[in-house]
């Protein structure tokens, strides 16, 4: 079997959203900047080596040929890692001020770190975390 290096890194995450304009405004309020290729049909945010894309949920489901039934937890969370517990608290406060919904207040967690969760306007879960077992550089890049 030939192994390809492209599966060793995630290059883009696409979130299906109910209202593209509302989602764009929310992520811009968090401080993200829409990048080249963004339009009234899709929005791209460059996040270091990763691109976050926002795309209307129904066409995204149609493209993947899956049902858009919106049932329950999708089993996926996205995460922002920070260099301290104080930075997590500040990030959560900023997200909530930008329109996020608190799902779990930041707190010490079983694995030795500190984290909390918020939901974006479409219910996508974001974790904000301090993990004492990884390094976070000045650009937010995590090194294991």
What CATH number is associated with residue 115? Answer: 3.10.180.10
Q: Are residues 87 and 34 in the same domain?
A: no
Q: What residues have CB less than 8 Å from 103, skipping those under 6 apart?
A: 116, 117, 118, 119, 125
Query: Does a structural domain hold residue 100?
Result: yes
Identify whether residues 14 and 53 lie together within a single domain.
yes
Q: Which of 26, 7, 9 is closest to 18 using CA atoms?
A: 26
Q: Are residues 56 and 103 in the same domain?
A: no
Same domain, 58 and 91: no
Domain containing 53: what range? 9-62
- C-alpha to C-alpha distance for 103 and 110, rounded to whole angstroms: 17
Between CA 24 and CA 28 the distance in angstroms is 6
Domain for residue 32, yes or no?
Answer: yes
Total number of domains constituting the chain: 2
Residues 95 and 141 occupy one common structural domain: yes
Residues 32 and 85 in one domain: no
Q: Establish if 3 belongs to a structural domain.
A: no
- Note whether 82 and 130 are within 8 A (CB): yes
List the beta bridge partners of residue 73: none
**pLDDT, position 144:** 75
- Does residue 129 belong to any structural domain of this protein? yes
Please report where in the chains the tokens 């930041």 appear, as a residue.
106
Residue 72 falls within a domain, yes or no?
no
- Strand, coil or helix: 137: coil
Per-residue pLDDT of the chain (144 residues; tens, 9 = 90+): 555 455 556 678 999 999 999 999 999 999 999 999 999 999 999 988 889 999 999 988 887 777 887 766 677 789 888 999 999 999 999 999 999 999 999 999 998 999 999 999 999 999 999 999 988 888 777 777
Question: What pLDDT shows up at residue 136?
Answer: 84
pLDDT of the residue at 108: 97
């Amino acid at each position: 079997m030939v192994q390809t290096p492209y599966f060793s890194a995630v290059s883009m995450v696409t979130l299906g959203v109910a209202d593209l304009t509302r989602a764009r405004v929310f992520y811009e309020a968090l401080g993200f900047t829409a990048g080249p290729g963004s339009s009234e049909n899709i929005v791209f945010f460059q996040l270091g080596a990763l691109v976050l894309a926002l795309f209307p949920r129904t066409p995204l489901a149609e493209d993947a040929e899956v049902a858009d039934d919106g049932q329950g937890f999708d089993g996926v969370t996205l995460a922002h890692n920070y260099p301290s517990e104080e930075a997590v608290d500040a990030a959560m406060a900023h997200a909530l001020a930008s329109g996020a919904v608190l799902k779990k207040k930041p707190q010490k967690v079983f694995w030795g770190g500190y984290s909390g969760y918020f939901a974006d306007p479409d219910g996508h879960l974001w974790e904000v975390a301090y993990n004492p077992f990884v390094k976070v550089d000045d650009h937010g890049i995590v090194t294991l």
